[in-house]
Structure 1
């Protein structure tokens, strides 16, 4: 007896990739994630490739993983994918101390963030709209 298979966390014709510990603040990561929300995957990868933000490297890796999941696990058409969701959250914060003048110490916080990218096949919205019209 094994435990039952867990249900999918996203809908049909969607694929998901998650990065749980990206080194950097959620604010900075969200600035980069905002660049790709709602765009075609090819355009989003180009934007991230030529972005000057350091967080773009990590976002690009997660987006590429979501595309690979869509192609290999869910048999979706890579050319018809769009970025449905790119959500950012806070993860752990490492606390460190550094010496300051006159024997004092100052706290340094090194934040980590989470990134969740969902890609969707473009034909999925059109199919559901066409079904309601007929």
Structure 2
């Protein structure tokens, strides 16, 4: 008398990690996400470690989380993992303001983003 188990959102040879409320614009975050798409996870981690972008530390944490999910939850081999997808979405925006001349009000918009990373285990061709 229980509900059916939810089906997996990713394939059997994939694992996923999602980070929400990253304090940067989606456009800036997408530059870092594009840097790791399609790469092996070791190379992607190296690129993120030595990147000069501020948000690259948070992207590296999300990638490490996806690797840990693949290893612990789905029993995938870490050495064969590739970043299959890395995509960015909008999140909330904080609205702030600053007084301007002649009684006007200048809006300051502080955007937040979310990041989703999927890693896939490549099957060896025999």
Structure 1 unaligned runs (5+)? none
Query: Which position in structure 1 is the counterpart of 2:43?
Result: 43
Query: Which position in structure 2 is the counterpart of 1:68?
Result: 68
SS of match in other structure, 2:68:
helix
SS of match in other structure, 2:106:
strand
1:12-51, aligned counterparts within 5 Å? Answer: 12-51=12-51
Structure 1 runs, 4 residues or longer, greater than 6 Å off? none
Instruction: For 2:31 and 2:106, locate their aligned partners in 1 and report how far apart those are by CA, in whole Å.
Output: 28
Query: Which position in structure 1 is the counterpart of 2:86?
Result: 86
User: How far did residue 20 of structure 1 move?
Assistant: 1.9
SS of match in other structure, 1:10:
coil
- Under a length normalisation based on structure 1, what TM-score does the superposition of the two structures give? 0.89
- Under a length normalisation based on structure 2, what TM-score does the superposition of the two structures give? 0.94
SS of match in other structure, 2:53:
coil
Query: Which position in structure 2 is the counterpart of 1:57?
Result: 57
Aligned residues: 126
User: How far did residue 3 of structure 1 move?
Assistant: 2.1
Instruction: For 1:4 and 1:108, locate their aligned partners in 2 and report how far apart those are by CA, in whole Å.
Output: 46
User: How far did residue 102 of structure 1 move?
Assistant: 2.9
User: How far did residue 55 of structure 1 move?
Assistant: 1.3
Q: Please report the RMSD computed on the Cα atoms of aligned residues, expressed in angstroms.
A: 1.2
